[in-house]
Amino acid sequence: MTTPLPLIGKSEAPGSAGRLSAIHLSIILILILAASGIIVSQSGFSGALDTLEQAIQSNTAPFVDATGTVTGTLGSAVRPITGVFDTFQPGECGPDWDLLSFTTTAQTLTLWISPTILIITIVCISLGAIYMAGQFFNSPQLIAIAKDEAIQNGMTLLRVIFIAGALFASNIWFAMSTNTFVNDPVYHANFGRTLASVSMIDAAMAFCRQTVSDMVTQYGMLLLYNSVVHALYSTTLLFGISWRSMYSFNMGPILKPIIDVIGMVLQMLSLSMSEWLLHIVTLCIIKKWTWTLLIPLGMLLRAFPFSRSAGESLLTLTMALAIFYPFMFLVDYEVHKLMKNNIVDPKKTMESFIRDAGLLRIGVGVLTVVLMMGGVLIPVLIGSSISVAFELVKGAVYYIVILGLMLPLFNIFITLTVARELARFFSVDVNFMSFLKII
Amino acid sequence: MPPMSFAEVIGSSSSVIHGTSGLWSWFLMSGLALMTSAVILAALYAWATLFRNPQLLVYIKSELYEMLVTAALIPIVLGMVGAMNTLTIGSLLPPDLLPAGVDGASTIYQVTGDYYTRVGNDLAQWLYMDYAASMYVDQASAVTVYIRPVGVGLVSSPLAGFASPIKQLLYNMATALSISFFINEAFMRVGLFFFQAFLQYYLPVGIFLRCFTPTRRLGGTLIGVAVAFFFVFPSISVLSYMIMYTPAGGPMLNAGAVITHFFNDFISGTNFRDFFSNNFLSGSFIDLVLSPFNLAGTALQNLFGALFMTLLIIPASAIAMGFAVSVVLPTINLMIFTQAARDLSKSFGEEVDVSSLLRVI
C-alpha cells in the first residue's frame, strides 16, 4: 500500500540535498543493521536447530537406552526427578520385576508366590472340609462337589503352569532369535543388561520409547520449521523513508495452507506420542503385575464356582497381554525397520533447509533486510519451504497413520482376539470385542 | 440433603450397615416374608397331597429347599457386608504394596473412596497447572515485535509459530484430563450410588423378594448384583489404587511428582525468568540497539531447549496417564466386574446380561 505524504524535514525543497541525505541516512542505517545482523546473528535459525537437537538428544537418549535411571526398589520412596521423561522411565518396572526371565529377585517372588500359596492352601482346606463333611454325613453329593472342585483347581494350576511355560518359552525364543542383533537399540539396550537377560516385554517397551523419541524429533523439527514459516507468515514489512510515507505488505498469505497442514499434523503427532506413552505405561503395568497380581487374582477368582468365569477370563486375558501384546510390538518394530527407510531424516531435512538454502544461514536480521530489498527472492524461499514442508509432513504422516493408528489397532485387536479364542477354548463366554469398542 | 461421601456411607460407624435402623431393620421384614412363604408352601403342600399331584410336590420341596437356603443367606450376606466394612487394607495387601500414604488400618471401603478422590484431585491439580501454563504460552504466541527505525522495518510475531502448536497440545491435555476426570468421577458417583441405594434399598429388598417364593429369582438377581458391588467393585478399585500408587514408583505417583515439579517450575516463572534474563537482559544497551533481530533470533533459538521438552513431554505424559488411569485400568476392571456380576446373579437368581448393559453405557 502506498501512502503519498510529504517527506520529513525538507519537503519544501523537492530534489534538494536534504531529501537525498534522508535517503542516504536510511540506506546507511539499513546497512548498519545488516552488518550487525551478520556479525551477531550468525547463530539464528541454525543455532535453534543445534539447540533443538541437543535438547532432544540429551533427553531421549537415556530414555531410549533406559540408562542413567534409578531403579525403583520395592518399598522405597519415589525416585528423584532427573528429567521430563522420568514419568515413563523404566525403573519402576525394570529387572526387579522380571519373572521367568533370567534375572529375578527373591522379593518379587515372595510378593506373588506368598499370596498364591495362601490362596491354594485356603482352597485346599475348604475342599478337604467339604469332603470330610460329605463322608461324615454320608452325602455322595458333597463328595462329588469336593471332587469336582478339586479337579477344577487342578485345572487352574495346569493353566498357570501353561502360562508360565509359554512365557518362559517365548522369552527363550526371543533371546535366541535376537542374539545376533548386538547393535540393535531395541533388542540390545534394555536396562543396561547383557543381551542374554533381555526379555520380550522389555524389548517391546524399548521400542515404545524409541518410537516416542522419533516422534519427539519429528515434532521438534516440524515445530522449528513452523516457527520459521510462521514468522514469515505473520510478518508485515514496512518500507518507506518516513513514518508518513511508506508502503507495507504481508509476506505469507500463500503460506497459510502449509501453516494449516503443519498445525494439524503437529496436533495429531502429539496425540500419537501420548498414545505411545500410554503403551509404555500399559506394558509396564503388565510386566509388573502379571505375576504379582493378575495371575494370583485369576486363581483366586477361579477357585470359587461363583466367580469361576471371571477368573477364567482374567487368566486368558493375562496370557494374551503377557505374551501376545509385547510380541505384537516386536512385529511392529520389524515392520518399522523396513518402513522407516521410506521416510527422510527430519534433522537432515531441516539442516538442508536452514544451512544450505542460503537465505536463513545469515540470520534473521539480514534475512529481513534482504527480503525488504529484493522481493524477487521470496519465491525462492517459498519454493524451498514448500518442498521441505512436504518432506517433513510425509514422515509425520507415517508416524501418525502407521505407528499411531494402524499398528496399535492391530496389536489390540490381535491380543483381544487371542484372549477371546483362549476363553472359548476354556468354555468361557467373554465379550472382549465390546472392550475393544470401548478402547 | 447433600450427597454423602464414601466415608459417611460406609464408614466404620455407618448406621446404615451397623445400626438397627439400617440394613438390619430389614431382617424382621425378611423373616416375615419367609414365614409368609412357608405358609404359602404349606397351603400348596396340602393342596398337592389332597389332590395327589406329584409334580406340585416336587416343586414345593424344591422351593422349600430354596427357602431354607435363603434363610441361611440372610445372616451370611448381611454379616459379610458388615465384615467387609471392617476389613482393613493392611490385612489384604502386603505392606510393600500398600498405596503410598495409605494407612494399613483403613477399611477397604474407605480406601475405595480415597482412590477415586485422590485420582480426581491429581487430575484437577494437573488441569489447574495446564490452565496456568496455557496463559503463559498464549502470551508468548501473542508477542508482536515492532521494528521500524526511520520508517523501514517489520511487524512480526516470532513466537507464534512455536507457541500455537504447544497451545493446541495444552488444549488437548485439558480435554484428556477433563474426560479422565469425568470418567473417574462417574466411577466414584456410581460407587456411591450403589453403596447408598443397594445398602438401603436394593439388597434388603432383594433379600425380601428372595424370601418370597413368587419373587425368588428376581430377589436373587438383586442380591447377586449387590454382592458384586459390595465385594468385587471395592476389591478391584483397591487393586487399581495399588497399581497406580505403589510407593516404589506407581505410575500416577511418578507422573504426579514429575508433572508437579516441572509445571511448578514453569508456573513459578523460573523457566521464563531464566529465558528472558539470558536473552534480553544480559546484553548491553548497545547490543540491544544494534542487534534487535539477533535478540529475537537468539530468544527463538533458546526456546528449543529444555523449555520445549518440558512443554512437549509433560502434556503428552499427562494425556497418557489420564487415559491409563481412567480408560485402560477401568476397562480391565469392568471386564472382571461384569463377569463376576453375571455369575453371581446367575447363582443367586437369574442371569443378568451385564455386558449388553455395558455396551449401552
Tell me: the pLDDT tens digits for A5-52? 343 334 444 444 455 565 566 566 556 555 554 444 445 566 667 777
Is residue A198 within 8 A of residue A187, CB to CB? The reply is: yes
Can you tell me the distance from the alpha carbon of B188 to that of B5, in angstroms, rounded to the nearest whole number? 10
SS3 B172: helix
Q: Are A134 and A141 in contact, with CB atoms under 8 Å apart?
A: yes
| Chain A interface, best mutation among B91, B130, B154, B238, by max A CB count within 10 A | B154
Q: Mark yes or no for CB contact A75/B339 under 8 Å.
A: no
What are the tens digits of pLDDT across the range B256-302?
888 888 877 777 766 666 666 665 555 444 444 444 455 555 666 66
Q: What is the pLDDT of residue A89?
A: 66
Mean of pLDDT values over B37-57:
87
- Gap from B2 CA to chain A (nearest CA, Å): 33
One-letter amino acid at A338 equals L
What pLDDT digit, counting tens, does each position of A366-384 carry? 555 554 444 444 555 566 6
In total, the C-beta contacts within 8 angstroms joining chain A to chain B are 317
Q: Which range has the worst mean pLDDT, A267-271, B131-135, B320-324, B331-335?
A: B331-335
Q: Considering only residues 29 to 48 of chain A, which have any Cβ-Cβ distance to chain B shorter than 8 Å?
A: 29-30, 32-33, 36-37, 39-41, 43-45, 47-48
ipTM (interface pTM): 0.77
Contact residues, A window 54-93, toward B, CB-based 8 Å cutoff: 54-56, 59, 72-79, 81, 84-88, 91-92
CA A347 to chain centre: 18
The residues that bridge with A181 in the sheet, in sequence order, are none
**Residue found under cell 520529513:** A8
The answer to whether A322 and A167 have CB atoms below 8 angstroms apart is yes
**Burial class, A141, CB count within 10 angstroms (exposed 0-12 / middle 13-18 / buried 19+):** exposed
Q: Which residue has the higher pLDDT, A397 or A427?
A: A397
| Distance, CA of A236 to CA of A252 (rounded, Å) | 9
B305 touches A54 (CB < 8 A):
yes
Which chain B residue lies closest to A275 (C-alpha atoms)?
B320
Interface mutation target, options B137, B317, B331, B342, chain A, most CBs of A under 10 Å: B317
Matching residue, cell 509476506: A251
DSSP 8-state class, residue A244: S
The cell for A86 is 522420568
CA distance A432 to chain B (A): 8
Cα–Cα nearest to A397, from A356, A358, A327, A344: A344
User: Which grid cell sits at A83?
Assistant: 528429567
The A residues from 181 to 220 touching B (CB cutoff 8 Å) are 216, 219-220
How close does chain A come to B148, measured CA to CA in Å? Answer: 7
**pLDDT attached to residue A10:** 41
Check residue B355 and give its pLDDT.
61
Give the model's pLDDT for residue A359. 46
Nearest to B33 by CA among B60, B58, B70, B72: B70
* Cα dihedral across residues B29, B35, B41, B46: positive or negative: negative
Asked if A268 and A79 touch (Cβ cutoff 8 Å), the reply is: no
Q: What is the pLDDT of residues A61-71, one digit of tens each?
A: 778 776 654 44
pLDDT in tens, A79-90: 566 677 877 766
Question: What are all long-range contacts of A121-126, with beta carbons under 8 Å and residues at least 24 apart?
Answer: A123/A149, A123/A153, A123/A303, A124/A153
Is the predicted pLDDT of residue A436 greater than 90, yes or no?
Answer: no
Q: Is B256 exposed, middle or buried (0-12, 13-18, 19+ CB in 10 A)?
A: buried
At A328 the pLDDT is: 93
CA dihedral A297, A302, A308, A309 (to 10 degrees): 60
> Mean pLDDT throughout B51-68?
85
Interchain proximity B243–A267, CB inside 8 Å: no
Which of A74, A78, A288 lies at the smallest CB-CB distance from B254?
A78
- Residue to substitute from A109, A230, A267, A312, interface B, most B β-carbons within 10 A: A230
The strands making up A236-240's β-sheet, listed across from edge to edge, are A246-250, A236-240, B153-156, B145-147
Cβ atoms within 10 A of the Cβ of B3, count?
10
Q: What pLDDT score does A84 carry?
A: 77
Q: In this model, does residue A111 exceed pLDDT 90?
A: no
Burial class of residue A17 in the structure, from the number of CB atoms within 10 Å of its CB (0-12 exposed, 13-18 middle, 19+ buried): exposed
Q: Which residues pair with A250 in a beta bridge?
A: A236
Report yes or no: A252 and A233 within 8 Å, Cβ to Cβ.
Answer: yes
Asked whether the beta carbons of residue B315 and residue A363 sit closer than 8 angstroms, the reply is no
Residue B93's φ and ψ, nearest 5 degrees, are -115, 150
Rounded CA-CA distance A407/A385 in Å is: 31
Mutation for testing the A interface, residue in B261, B301, B361 having most A CBs under 10 Å: B301
Per residue in B77-95, pLDDT tens? 878 877 887 888 888 777 7
Contact A298, A318 (CB under 8 A): yes
Q: What is the pTM of this model?
A: 0.79
**Which residue of B172, B254, B292 is in closest CB contact with A92?**
B254
Confidence class for position A361, pLDDT limits 50, 70, 90:
very low
Q: Hey, is the C-beta of A308 within 8 angstroms of any chain B C-beta?
A: yes
